Structure 1
Amino acid sequence: MKRTQSGMTLIAFIIVLGVVGLFAYVGMKLIPMYSEYYSVKQALKGLQAEPGIANRDPGKIQDLFFRRLYISYAENVKPENVKIKRIDRGWQMDVDYEVRKPIIGNLDVVGKFSASENLLNQGAGGE
């Protein structure tokens, strides 16, 4: 009686290992991009909860926003990516930015991120 072996060959194992390694490498490039986007969203939410934010001037609002991002080590958002415009009872803050990370050779991964928040006075001291 002859027994046949089953399983992966060494070549197949190396190929699978390479594919898994490639996905892990791309993941290491993508996770910080999305982590930074989460920090931007959290900074906007924090600004929205700030008392009297609708009565502040846009320069002060932008300064508060970038202070919050500095704490989170977010470095891809620049002042030119932030737009603040007047709405009925406060301000609307839009953050649109792009992150480009090199992968292999001339291949890059590009993330385009957009976040927006209405900055209105909250609570009893609001209007």
Structure 2
Amino acid sequence: MGRTELHRGRQGGISLVGLIVVLAIVGFVGVLGLKIVPTYVEYRAISNGIKLAKAGGNTVREIQAAFDKNASATYIETITGKDLVIGAENGEIQVSFAYEKKIPLVGPASLLIDYSGSTAQPGSAGPKPRE
């Protein structure tokens, strides 16, 4: 067997169709990421905003006003101070929120993400709304 006969076996690699499929999947994941990341960034801004609002007020109205002031500075458009659930838990004021974000994908298909957060410690039941 000569040297040239050893290299005549089938060469491995990706076919054109395989490359197109891989690029389509990478493109879809990339577009999906570009649509999801801004909603997650806003969610993080809201989570930080409720912590600042809790520190900035002692009444429901003060907390709502503090959140709205922070929201306008950080470009939060999904919720306002009136959408917050403000209540007491173990004698301490807690602030929480919950909302859905619908992201259109293709045609009638869309992605629905539920966001929620609270200033309460993890594992607690959450605040009981003040009357």
In which range does the TM-score fall when normalised by the shorter chain? 0.7 to 0.9
The one of 104, 107, 120 aligned to 1:105: 107
Alpha-carbon RMSD: 1.9
The one of 10, 15, 31 aligned to 2:16: 10
Distance 1:105 1:15, change over 3 A: same
Distance in 2, Cα, partners of 1:46 & 1:60? 11
Distance in 2, Cα, partners of 1:80 & 1:98? 16
Distance in 2, Cα, partners of 1:14 & 1:89? 60
Which residue does the alignment assign to 1:124? Answer: none
The one of 22, 47, 53 aligned to 1:41: 47
Structure 1 length-normalised TM: 0.78
- Deviation, structure 1 residue 87: 4.6
Detail structure 1 runs of 4+ shifted over 3 Å in the superposition.
86-90
Q: In the alignment, is the contact (CA less than 8 A) between 2:65 and 2:81 conserved in 1?
A: no
Which residue does the alignment assign to 1:94? Answer: 96
Give unpaired runs (5+ residues) of structure 2: 121-131
- Deviation, structure 1 residue 80: 4.8
Distance in 2, Cα, partners of 1:48 & 1:64? 8
Partner of 1:24, secondary structure, is helix
Distance in 2, Cα, partners of 1:31 & 1:84? 27
Q: Which has the higher strand share?
A: 1
Equivalent residue runs for 1:18-37 within 5 Å: 18-37=24-43
Distance in 1, Cα, partners of 2:86 & 2:68? 13
- Deviation, structure 1 residue 92: 2.0
What percent identity do the matched residue pairs reach?
A: 25
Number of residue pairs aligned between Structure 1 and Structure 2: 114
Higher RCO (C-alpha under 8 Å, 6+ residues apart): 1
Q: Which amino acid in 2 is paired with 1:40?
A: I
Partner of 1:20, secondary structure, is helix
Point out the structure with max Rg over C-alpha: 2
